[in-house]
Amino acid sequence: MSKRWQKILNENLAWFLGALVLAFFVWYVATLQADPFVTQSFSSIPIRLDVSDGLIVTNSPPEVASITITGQQSIMGRLRREDIVIHADLMAASPGVQTVQLVAEVNRVVSIDDTRPTQITVELESIESGQKPVIIETTDPPADITAEQPVVTPLDVNVSGASSDVGRVVGVYGEVDLSESRSAFETQVTLVPRDENGRRVDNVTLDPTTARVSINLYRRDDVVRLAVRPNLQLETTEEGYTLTTIRSDPTEVFVRGSSTALADLGDTVFTAPISLTGRTGDFQVDVPLELPADVVVLPANDRNVSVEIGIEAQMSVVQFDSVPVDFIGLGDGLSLDSTASTISVVINAPRILLDSLTSDDVHAVVDVSGFGVGEYEITPQINLARGQAQAESIISLPNVLNVVVVSADEVLPPTPEPTSTGN
């Protein structure tokens, strides 16, 4: 009996397992049809470098990678870039050049098909730190000022980074401009790491990054500052002209000499005389300073200065009345009617021109070339027989003339005056 039941059970179990496999296959096919697998690529995923303490990356490996992922459509639709992590495990690496595989992790049930690149090359160095001296560079103060050595706090700073970079640093430098300073002061300066050639060393950190600098300045007894005064011979200014600008370069100089020589100078030094004879426009001239022979001009004892002088003509205004108007260009068979024959002219021009100008030198012209029968408003053109004034400085009164052009046939002959008959 037991053998018969065992036989029946074995036969039915085989049918049951077959039915189970068939049901699973049907379910799997139905699931794939409702939620199929899709493949998607993601680019520019950041690469995370996992580096142990005490090491630093000194080359520039790729920063991003691309990845291809396959998963069911419902899952891929919820997948975001933030769910993807690509990293290089360097925790067990030692200093030197290392080639490491990229590992991708996705926070979803998916299949990772590929990453590009699959590996990267990383150069590792030990992190090093050391004390480097603070060096302050200063520009020269004004020539009459002496600067003492800067007092710096702190004297050294800690420089850390890759051992090769830290080894290149010979000092950390700060700069202080003294060109306009005349008294003691304190300032905070930013420090820059440099190598033996004075070039900046990047990829290192400083602690602290600034230094406090104090500098004592005091005035020199053997140097004074003098204002430069151009010595113009004003009596040589040309008639009808005036000065507009007087400028020296430099405007002041520093001189060195004995206390007696400096005391005699005062606070001003004049140039050699500058003649204005024949000068009717702007000009520039180099002239020496009038200084005693035992006084030295700093820094190179150059006793010449450049003087720039602006000159322009003096302006004046004159009005000429009853200036006759000449009409030109009138076409054949045409005539003018009801037209003013004289105007007034106001001229704003250099006085040297107006002093010699007479009413005979002023001409007003109205050009009616190409004008047909009609009424026109025309601005007269003013010409000067001598000299030349700026166009905008000549005004006609009236500014516009009313010109009527008619056919010559329309012009009536003048009515003869009646003659008296003697009785």
Determine, yes or no, domain membership for 144. yes
**What's the CA angle centered on 43, arms 42 and 49, to 5 degrees?**
110
Strand boundaries in 91-153, DSSP class E: 96-106, 111-116, 119-138, 145-147, 151-153
Percent of the chain with pLDDT strictly greater than 70 = 87
The reply to whether 156 falls in a domain is yes
CA distance 176 to 211: 11
Residue 17 has pLDDT above 80, yes or no: no
**Least confident span in 12-21, 36-45, 50-59:** 12-21
pLDDT at 237 > cutoff 90: yes
**Domain housing 67:** 37-117
In a domain, residue 270? The reply is yes
The total of structural domains in the chain comes to 4
- Could you tell me if residue 15 is inside a domain? no
Domain boundary residue, one of 219, 247, 279: 219
- Quick check: is 16 in a domain? no
Same domain, 142 and 69: no
In a domain, 418, yes or no: no
- Long-range contacts (CB closer than 8 Å, 24 or more residues apart) made by 297-303: 297/253, 297/254, 297/255, 298/143, 298/223, 298/253, 298/254, 298/255, 298/256, 299/143, 299/254
Residues 92-134 have pLDDT tens digits of 898 999 999 999 999 888 888 899 999 999 999 999 999 999 9
pLDDT digit string, tens, across residues 133-182: 999 999 999 988 999 999 999 999 999 999 999 999 999 999 999 999 98
- Look at residue 13 and tell me if it is in a domain: no
**Given a cut of 60, is residue 28 above it in pLDDT?**
no
Residues 347 and 362 in one domain: yes
Mean local confidence (pLDDT), 182-200: 95
Torsion of CA 29, 33, 34, 35, to 10 degrees: 90
Same domain, 215 and 229: no
Same domain? For 251 and 332 the reply is no
CATH of the domain at 207: 2.170.120.40
**pLDDT tens per residue across span 61-81:** 999 999 999 988 888 888 888
In single-letter form, the type of residue at position 142 comes to: P
Mean pLDDT calculated for residue range 53-57: 89
Residue 158 and residue 190 share a domain: yes
Do 212 and 230 belong together in one domain?
no
Nearest to 104 by CA among 90, 80, 86, 89: 86
Where does the pLDDT of residue 423 fall: very low under 50, low under 70, confident under 90, or very high at 90 and above? very low
Q: Is the pLDDT of residue 233 over 90?
A: yes
Residues 195 and 131 in one domain: yes
At 422, is the pLDDT very low, low, confident or very high (cuts 50, 70, 90)? Answer: very low
Q: Which of 159, 214, 170 lies closest to 189, judged by CA?
A: 214
pLDDT band at 10 (very low <50, low <70, confident <90, very high): low
- Contact status, residue 330 vs residue 324, Cβ threshold 8 Å: no
Q: Tell me the Ramachandran region of residue 217: left when phi exceeds 0, alpha when psi lies from -120 to 50, beta otherwise.
A: beta
Q: Please compute the mean of the pLDDT values over residues 246-260 and round it to a whole number.
A: 93
Express each pLDDT in 202-219 by its tens digit. Answer: 999 999 999 999 999 999
Mean pLDDT for all residues in the chain? 87
Q: How many CB atoms lie within 10 A of CB 246?
A: 13
pTM: 0.57
Q: Is the pLDDT of residue 16 over 50?
A: yes
Does residue 333 sit in the same domain as residue 307?
Answer: no
209 found inside a domain? yes
Of the three residues 117, 136, 164, the one that is the final residue of a domain is 117
Q: Same domain, yes or no, for 131 and 211?
A: yes
The answer to whether 172 touches 157, Cβ cutoff 8 Å, is yes
Same domain, residue pair 402 and 353: yes
Looking at residue 303, what is its pLDDT? 92
**pLDDT given for residue 356 in this prediction:** 81
Whether residue 266 is found in the same domain as residue 278: yes
pLDDT of residue 206: 96
pLDDT higher than 70, residue 260: yes
pLDDT of residue 301: 86
Q: Whole-angstrom Cα distance, residue 334 to residue 255?
A: 82
pLDDT tens per residue, range 330-386: 988 888 876 678 999 999 888 888 888 888 889 999 999 989 999 999 999 998 887
Q: What is the mean pLDDT of residues 289-304?
A: 91
Asked if the model's pLDDT at residue 19 lies above 70, the reply is no
Q: Which CATH number is 69's domain given?
A: 2.170.120.30
Least confident of 48-57, 109-118, 389-398: 389-398
Of 184, 219, 254, which marks where a domain is finished? 219
Would the pLDDT of 299 be above 60?
yes
320 and 300 within one domain = no
Give pLDDT, residue 21. Answer: 66
- Give how far Cα 157 sits from Cα of 33, 131, 133, 160, Å: 69, 5, 7, 10
